[in-house]
């Protein structure tokens, strides 16, 4: 069973949130980071950090820097506003599970769309190359 990390720190501006998650005694290379609009997870056995974010973020432009036994997240907010807390309060286990599942489905859908777009671009490139060779 993973140990929940609770010794993280965070600060914010009206447009971004900065989170520092220390991973002492653990290889940060093995850290698995998962981030979506409303959910952030770092799994680095035996430690686990989860945050059910207060408001949606732009996960496409958000970043994570890993090094020196720490992970530093720069999360860009979708709406410029100050958050009361980092995580939603009063979240029960059932709601946590729904948020996790929704986040995983969103990530899978994005990956599928990216794969399809890449395949279409490859076919277009091949078609163009064939056309040039035929001329």
pLDDT tens-place string over residues 61-118: 999 998 888 899 999 999 999 999 998 888 888 988 999 999 999 989 989 999 999 9
| Residue 55, burial from CB neighbour count under 10 angstroms (0-12, 13-18, 19+) | middle
Q: Are 49 and 42 in contact (CB under 8 A)?
A: yes
Mean pLDDT of 35-47: 89
- The alpha carbon of 121 is separated from its chain's Cα centroid by a whole number of angstroms, namely 26
Task: Band the pLDDT of 4: cuts 50, 70, 90.
Answer: confident
pTM: 0.79
Given a cut of 80, whether residue 27 has pLDDT beyond it is: no
- How far is the C-alpha of 2 from the C-alpha of 73, rounded, in Å? 21
pLDDT of residue 72: 92
């Amino acid at each position: 069973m993973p140990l929940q990390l609770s010794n993280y720190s965070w600060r914010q501006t009206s447009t971004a949130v900065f989170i520092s998650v220390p991973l002492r005694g653990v290889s940060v290379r093995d850290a698995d980071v998962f981030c979506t609009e409303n959910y952030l997870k770092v799994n680095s056995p035996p430690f686990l950090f989860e945050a059910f974010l207060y408001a949606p973020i732009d996960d496409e432009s958000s970043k994570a820097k890993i090094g020196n036994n720490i992970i530093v997240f720069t999360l860009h907010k979708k709406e410029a506003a100050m958050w009361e807390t980092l995580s939603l309060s009063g979240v029960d286990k059932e709601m946590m599970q729904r948020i996790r599942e929704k986040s995983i489905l969103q990530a899978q859908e994005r990956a599928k769309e990216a794969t399809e777009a890449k395949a279409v671009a490859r076919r277009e490139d091949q078609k163009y190359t064939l056309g040039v060779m035929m001329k």
